[in-house]
Amino acid sequence: MDATGLVVLAAALVVSALAAWWLRTRNGAVRAVSEEGATVPEAGTTSTAVLQELGARPEDADLTVVQFSTAFCGPCRATRARLQQLQTTRPGLAYLHVDAESHLDAVRALDVRRTPTLFYLGRDGALIGRSSGAPRPDELTALVDAHTAVQS
Amino acid sequence: MPQVDVRGPRFGAWVTTVVLAVALLTGSGWLVAAQAVVFAVGAFAGLRYAPYGVLFRILVAPRLGPVREREPEAPPRFAQLVGLLFAVVGAAGFLIGAPLVGAVATGLALVAALLNAATGFCLGCELYLTVRRAQTARTV
């Protein structure tokens, strides 16, 4: 039995448990974006403007979701499928998919660190919030329903 | 793009976790090196040929029932490459007489494998964008 190995193994298990807990808490949690956070300092522009440059047209829908993904991101695929599925039953939802790798300037301007990162825009163009990591399906549905006119 | 049964990489991650834990407990650089070879096959030859993937297809999959979900191969394959980097440093550390370096690198690989196995989280995939961002920052 290797003493160093035993200590490192124990530490690795603790780190894994903490990371799993952190990811569970953070993944998909929507953070409100403050007025400061909504502006992109070096570019002298707003997050909304950056997203609009990528093709987002918030004025056309109750809620516009912009998703940043990479080819090496498994959860991105599931999140994308979920949003596209929600779109079929919720006309007020618009969805824009952005390949992060081919838009690295926007990635840096918006400080996108993980994929998927989602941005939520209201009809007025205001950034409602953003989230990193794959959201849980029920939470994503609830969020979309809260911002789009649900037809019951 | 080749597709794989999503359960395959998860199974592989569990096996990897156990192998790396045994390697840590025994301080065996050769076991880490063997794991590095496993990673290399998955990363360079493709998951079809990855040893744990083959094990999964032959021994495990037939007992689990039909495939419910497939995913593109690229994300788990990239993760094998990231695992390879850690495992190479780990094996080298143990084998050239720097056991602490070996143990820490192996421990980091174990964290990544265990997280992937238990939660589906893919560390390599998340790091990918971070690395690409940093590259641009340097060239701009």
In a domain, A72, yes or no: yes
pLDDT value at residue A74: 82
Residues of A in contact with B129 (CB under 8 A): 70, 73, 100-101, 107, 112-115
Q: How far apart are CA A119 and CA A54, in angstroms?
A: 12
CA distances to A41, B16, B102 from B109, rounded to whole Å, are 37, 9, 11
pLDDT tier, A37 (very low <50, low <70, confident <90, very high otherwise)? low
Q: What is the ipTM of this complex?
A: 0.84
| pLDDT one-digit tens code per residue, B13-26 | 999 999 999 999 99
Tell me which residue range forms the domain holding A39: 3-147
Domain ranges of chain B: 3-139
Q: Within an 8 Å CB–CB cutoff, is residue B89 touching chain A?
A: no
Q: How far apart are CA A3 and CA B79, in angstroms?
A: 29
| Residue of B126, B127, B135, B136 to mutate when probing chain A, most A C-beta within 10 A | B126
| CB nearest B104 (choices: A8, A70, A71) | A8
Q: How far apart are CA A127 and CA A33, in angstroms?
A: 7
* Angle at which helices B74-95 and B123-139 cross, to 10°: 90
In a domain, A152, yes or no: no
CATH code, A52:
3.40.30.10
pLDDT value at residue A32: 80
Q: How far apart are CA A62 and CA B140, in angstroms?
A: 37
Q: Within an 8 Å CB–CB cutoff, is residue B55 touching chain A?
A: no
Q: Within an 8 Å CB–CB cutoff, is residue B104 touching chain A?
A: yes
Token reading at A7: 């200590």
| pLDDT one-digit tens code per residue, B32-69 | 999 999 999 999 999 889 999 999 999 999 998 888 88
In a domain, A132, yes or no: yes
pLDDT tier, B88 (very low <50, low <70, confident <90, very high otherwise)? very high
pLDDT tier, A88 (very low <50, low <70, confident <90, very high otherwise)? very high
Number of domains in chain A: 1
